[in-house]
A and B are shown apart, each in its own frame.
Chain A
Amino acid sequence: MTMQTFKEWFFTTDHKRIGIMYLVGSMAAFVVAGLMALLIRLEQSSLGPTITDNPNDYNNWLYFHGAAMVLAFLIPGLTGFFANYFLPLMIGAQDVAFPRINAFSIWLFYGAIILALLSFVIPDPPDVMWTGYPPYSITTTGNTAFYVFTVHLLGFSSVLGAVNFLVTVIYMRAPGMGWNQLNIFTWTTVAAFVLQLVFIPVLASAVTMLLFDKYLGTNFFNPEAGGDVLLYQNLFWFYSHPAVYVIFLPACGILFEIFATMCKNRVFNYKACVYGGIWGIVGISGFVWVHHLYVSGMPDWLRIGQMVTTLLISVPVGLMVMSMWGTLYRAAITFNTGMLYAISCLFLVLSGGLTGIPLALTAITVHLSETSFVHAHFHFIMAMFSAFAMFAGIYYWFPKMFGRYADGPAATLGFWLNIIGVHVTFIPLFIIGVEGMPRRYWDYQMFPQFEPYHQVALVGAFMVAGGMAVTILNWIYSAFKGKVAVENPWKSCSMEWTHAPNCPQAGNFPNPPSVQPEWSPYGYEDREGNMAATTDPGYPTGPTAKPAE
């Protein structure tokens, strides 16, 4: 890389380059946190010390794995990379509303990643899990400040991003583009950023109080001095449950884009999906946090009340699922690697979502809480569903980003290793979870009967590791040497494909688009007969989308 290109990237304010930098940073976090997962599986694969005889090492891996996967991979990957790169293209904008603030966001994010990685070299790394519950996080010799400052940096970055993207969607849509003509991905991203804007300050205040308690001698969480030990958990989950939807919603949005395109179909019951599903989730998201605290000593009336609200999440999620399944109905489906991942997500959302139903019931959670059943449940819905949706999106938009295909035998091999591997890993954990295997255990002398299950899980973990290695190497290779892609290879109707060339330059659109009232990003039926024309990049395309005068 020459000095010139380095400068271009370092000082860029282009939303697409910032997007790519988010992709690189979040994938780097994914790789390191994934290696931690391998260490965790290895340690648990036999009774007694396996690869370390120091439980603190194991606890540090757990901390890094959880914090990095959630805060540095899933959230920045979905709301940083995907939103940055594709949202302006989907709404026909030339960039985001505040490009310099966008650049500031990415550097805050990299600051946080560096801070997180430093925890490997400092003497007493944080060992507070990604949840950081006091009083342990205050009394531990581990460096809780690293945890707090990482959350601060990422939170600040996300809040800036939220303001930026909400303004962008409100004010910078292509002329004529109405709210009901937005891509589902755009809607889910808007919803995710609304959640970030509302709830991140709560998390930031919680971890700041933690910092004050540990280093400045305040007593927010110290019952001996009048503090409340449960306050932190309430504040933490008041943000961190909505954070699950900050991940879930954009992941669903990616899947809708892929299904609509690869099915050449309109999104089934678009308005129910958007106003009932997406905004229904946003509406309920702030009233369910207590299901993380079912065994934390909350008042009984609160546990019962939030059992009902938690179960009611199945209504908006169900509406999104109906729309997702409905989009397959009477479709004309073609397949690529992105579509394979997307289809696998149809099953991951079932196994992950439905195993949440017992956990919504207070009385059932009394047994399952903090066991590997919970661990497997949230890995299915939050880790695998969302990560596979991201991989689907990366394959699907690869030609857009790099002008080349990433599909091929390596991609398919990676897919099958990943999808089989995650099931081999987590199905045993479901089983022993119901039998009582606790999570976050360095060792399990009290449950020697679970050892074979952990060994099966280890095999699965290595399959995923192999699958991910193949997948990531394939992306890197394909970005530089892959087969050159034609314009709009999947024959999508969505604006990022029809109006912007592959590898769009600064400004995005050769002819800034405007749209007619009957235009839709999913208007395949209206375009029958025009489909052939769209393989040829004669811009603009589509019967009703016209260039601005």
Chain B
Amino acid sequence: MRALTGKVVLALSGLMMASPAFAEGYERDPAAGWDHLWREIVIDITVIGVIFSVAAIYMVWKYRAKSDDEVGRGPKLSPAAALAWALIPASIFMADDFFLSAKGWTLWNDYRRIPDEAKEIRVTAYQWYWEFDYGDDLVSEELVVKKGEPVVLRMTSEDVLHSLYIPEFRVKEDVMPGRVTYVWFNPKRTGEFVETCTEYCGTAHAEMYTTVRVVEEAEYEQFINELKEEARAANSVKSQS
């Protein structure tokens, strides 16, 4: 018995190690995982939807009353049949639920486990703009990140609830006063993307958006240098006055 338990544990841990989500060095990308799971779910719900739609259309057509005083002949279920008609569909629905839960949990773990090498940028939300802090008092109102380097955003709000949403990276999390929340993503291609607020925050809620620029390393260094220049200029103005 003990040998068997040992084997089961060995097999399970082997499976877990083989599973990509747990493997070392696997380049995780929640956005790609999202697209993959989304495709599977769309197939899943389309199949269910088509089965029930076709069944409904077929029955509405097939069982039209032939005469005015015809009555339906739906089966009167025996207790055993009634139980089976409850338990079997319930089991099928539950099987699908647990299948999707497992998939969703795996992806969720990807979303929440920040890679060690991730660059940390602190985000503060205000009514109605964003502030990105790259460390050393380097602050900008657009988000600039290096291609290929995972980024974690540590976010808080100075006033009301906001929500940081970058559709391109499939990430969103509320930003609120008194708490720090986070999202991380893996910018894989250069380009300009939208970051916008998705928690209703008042008059200019719809205008609380900015740009996410994913750039090559050289351009990133240049951007940081520009921020340093600005900071230095601001400091000298401060010290002069």
Which of B89, B98, B104, B196 is in CB contact (< 8 Å) with A361? B104
Judge if A129 is at the interface, Cβ distance under 8 Å.
yes
A175 CB-CB contact with B under 8 Å = no
The answer to the question of A442 belonging to the interface, with a C-beta cut-off of 8 Å to chain B, is yes
B60–A363 touching, CB < 8 Å? no
Known contacts A315-B94, A328-B63, A361-B37: A55-B205 contact under CB 8 Å: yes
Interface string of B70-101 (1 = CB under 8 A from A): 11111111000010011001100110111011
Given contacts A136-B160, A297-B179, contact A325 B56 (CB under 8 A): yes
Say how far B168's CB is from chain A's closest CB, in angstroms: 8
How many of chain A's residues touch chain B, expressed as a range? 35 or more
Residues of B within 8 A of A55 (CB): 203-207
> A127 CA to B205 CA in the complex, in Å?
12
Q: Which of A319-376 contact B (CB under 8 A)?
A: 319, 321-322, 325-334, 343, 346-347, 350-351, 354-355, 357-358, 360-364, 366-367, 369-371
Q: Is A531's CB under 8 angstroms from B71's CB?
A: yes
* 19 chain-A/chain-B pairs, Cβ below 8 angstroms: A59-B202, A133-B161, A136-B201, A224-B177, A229-B179, A272-B86, A295-B174, A312-B94, A319-B90, A330-B74, A332-B66, A332-B73, A347-B53, A354-B49, A364-B41, A366-B172, A440-B206, A446-B194, A531-B71
**Are A351 and B49 neighbours in the complex by a CB distance under 8 Å?**
yes
CA distance A268 to B77 in the complex (A): 8
A327 closest partner in B (C-beta): B74
Report how far A361 CA is from B110 CA in the complex, Å: 14
Q: A229-B161, A318-B90, A364-B104 are in contact. List 12 more A-B contacts (CB 8 A).
A: A139-B160, A223-B179, A265-B71, A266-B76, A268-B75, A315-B94, A330-B63, A346-B52, A361-B104, A367-B172, A446-B209, A447-B194
Kindly list the 8 A-B residue pairs having the minimum CB-CB distance in the complex, ordered from nearest.
A223-B178, A265-B72, A436-B167, A361-B104, A272-B86, A370-B198, A311-B97, A363-B107
- The one of A355, A358, A441 in contact with B38, judged by C-beta atoms closer than 8 angstroms, is A358
Nearest B residue to A263 via CB reads B72
B99 to chain A, nearest CB (A): 10
* Cα–Cα distance between A71 and B194 once the two chains are bound (Å): 35
Most buried by B among A329, A343, A363: A363
Any chain A CB within 8 A of the CB of B111? yes
Interchain CA distance A486-B83 in the complex, whole Å: 40
Contact yes or no, A230 B71, CB < 8 A = no
Contact of B72 among A127, A314, A524 (CB under 8 A): A524
* A303 CB–B CB distance under 8 Å: yes
Write out the residue numbers on chain A whose beta carbons fall within 8 Å of the beta carbon of B34. 363-364, 366-367
Contact B70 A332 (CB under 8 A): yes
Q: Give, as a whole number of angstroms, the nearest-CB distance from B212 to chain A.
A: 11
Residues of B within 8 A of A223 (CB): 176-179
Does B69 sit within 8 A of A, measured CB to CB? Answer: yes
A445 within 8 A of B: yes
Q: Which residues of A contact B82 (CB under 8 A)?
A: 269, 271-272
Is A303's CB under 8 angstroms from B172's CB?
no
Binding site for B on A (CB under 8 A): 55-56, 59, 127, 129, 131, 133-136, 139-140, 223-224, 229-230, 263-266, 268-269, 271-272, 276, 295-297, 300, 303-304, 307-308, 311-312, 314-315, 318-319, 321-322, 325-334, 343, 346-347, 350-351, 354-355, 357-358, 360-364, 366-367, 369-371, 434-436, 438-447, 524-525, 527-528, 531-532
Residues of B within 8 Å of A532, CB to CB, are: 69
- The answer on a CB contact under 8 Å between B53 and A265 is no
Q: Which residues of B contact A271 (CB under 8 A)?
A: 82
Q: Is B22 an interface residue (CB 8 A)?
A: no
Chain A residues contacting B104 (CB-CB under 8 Å) are 307, 361-364
Take A307-B105, A325-B55, A364-B41 as given contacts and tell me if A442 and B63 are in contact as well, using a CB distance cutoff of 8 Å.
no
B71 touches A314 (CB 8 A): no
Tell yes or no: B27 within 8 A of A by CB: no
Nearest Cβ distance between residue A531 and chain B, in whole angstroms? 4
* Contact yes or no, B172 A329, CB < 8 A: no
Residue of B whose beta carbon sits closest to that of A326: B74
Answer whether A332 and B172 are a contact pair too, CB < 8 Å, given A136-B200, A363-B111: no
Report how far A369 CA is from B174 CA in the complex, Å: 11
Interface core residue of B159, B176, B209 (most chain A CB under 10 Å): B176
Contacts of B177 in A (CB 8 A): 135, 223-224, 229
